[in-house]
Amino acid sequence: MFGRRADGRVLKNIDPIIALTPYLMPMRCDAQVMSNYKLDYEKMARYIVEQGNKGHKLTFMEIIIAAYVRTVSQLPEINRFVVNKRLYARTQLTVSFALLKDTGDPNKIEENTVKCYFDPHDTIYDVAERINAAIAQNRKEEADNSTMKVAKLLLNPILANIVVAFARLTDRYGILPKYILDASPFHTSMFFTQMASIGMPAVNHHIYNFGTTSLFVSMGSIQRETVIGPDGKAVRKRWLPVGFTADERICAGAEWAKLVDRVMYYIGHLEELETPPEAVLFEEGNEYSVPKYILRQQEKQQKKSIAG
């Protein structure tokens, strides 16, 4: 309460304009900035094939998330959030995403939501391993993580209204129970949606007012277009479109520009993600943590993977 939260530390030494912005735009829907970018599909696809030949199975989603995790390790300012008009440095580095459960019936569609925890020292292989472990654990039809357990408790409309109102109030003052914070996919550094998996284009998804998400990234289906090559001739080019929606209140526009620039750089130099960063930067002595029960789950999943 009063600036103390389990998932963040209030920032004090910040630019006065940045500190004033949440008072001018109290909700995330006031402060959404949307933009679209095209990633080099050809380069990423070749890298995936090369890594596959070396025994490393990677996906486009894992590459984008790995580039984001590495960027956060160098630009900690983008891992902030605003609650109750105060700016916080997040104490966790997480990415949430939805996935389809394996029901065995193509006509039966069920979703599960996953929040994956990362270390800023992670390589692209670490990121892929963490994501694969989370997917394997939550894709089974009978799988119910903490998010789904909370959601199922709220099927009663009366109970849902009461619990959600309670959650909004306690979250505003920093006393929302830690179990709910850990279970909520809306309390995350970035929310990622893979529209390509359902044959849809990239979208500019809104940022939820509930929770602390400051960045929403959407990956769409491949785009094909004709461009002029270096030799002046027309060539066919394939792009992977992504949509960014960011909360402009958490840092200066120049920092968001650095985010895009660095992600694009890492996408173009994927070999740099194969080794840990030389140094990791944090804000005001802040470091990232992972809930103990999440660590236990990861250890169990790793043992299963080794045994399998």
Share of the chain above pLDDT 70, in %: 84
Q: Is residue 30 assigned to a domain?
A: yes
Q: Which amino acid is at 96?
A: S
Backbone phi, psi, residue 197, to 5°: -65, -20
Q: Which amino acid is at 138?
A: N
Give 214-255 pLDDT, tens digit per residue.
999 999 999 998 888 788 888 888 999 999 999 999 999 999
DSSP string over the chain: -TTB-SSEEE--S--HHHHHHHHHS-SGGGSEEEEEEEEEHHHHHHHHHHHHHTT----HHHHHHHHHHHHHHH-GGGSEEEETTEEEEES--EEEEEEE-B-S-TT---EEEEEEE--TT--HHHHHHHHHHHHHHH-BTT---HHHHHHHHT-SHHHHHHHHHHHHHHHHTT-S-HHHHHH-TTSSSEEEEEGGGGT-----PPPPSSS---EEEEE---EEEEEE-TTS-EEEEEEEEEEEEEEGGGS-HHHHHHHHHHHHHHHH-GGGGGS--S----STT------HHHHHHHHHHHHHHHH-
CB 72 within 8 A of CB 168: no
Q: Is residue 133 assigned to a domain?
A: yes
Q: Is residue 221 assigned to a domain?
A: yes
**305 has pLDDT over 90:** no
Look up the domain containing 138 and give its range.
Answer: 8-307
Map tokens 């505003």 to a residue: 172
19-33, 102-116, 199-213: least confident range = 102-116
**CATH code: domain of residue 222:** 3.30.559.10
Q: Is residue 214 assigned to a domain?
A: yes
Question: Which span out of 177-186, 233-242, 266-275 was modeled with the highest average pLDDT?
Answer: 266-275
Q: Is residue 1 assigned to a domain?
A: no
Q: Is residue 34 assigned to a domain?
A: yes
Q: Is residue 2 assigned to a domain?
A: no
Domain count, the chain: 1
CA distance 62 to 48: 10
Q: Is residue 3 assigned to a domain?
A: no
Q: What pLDDT is attached to residue 141? A: 46
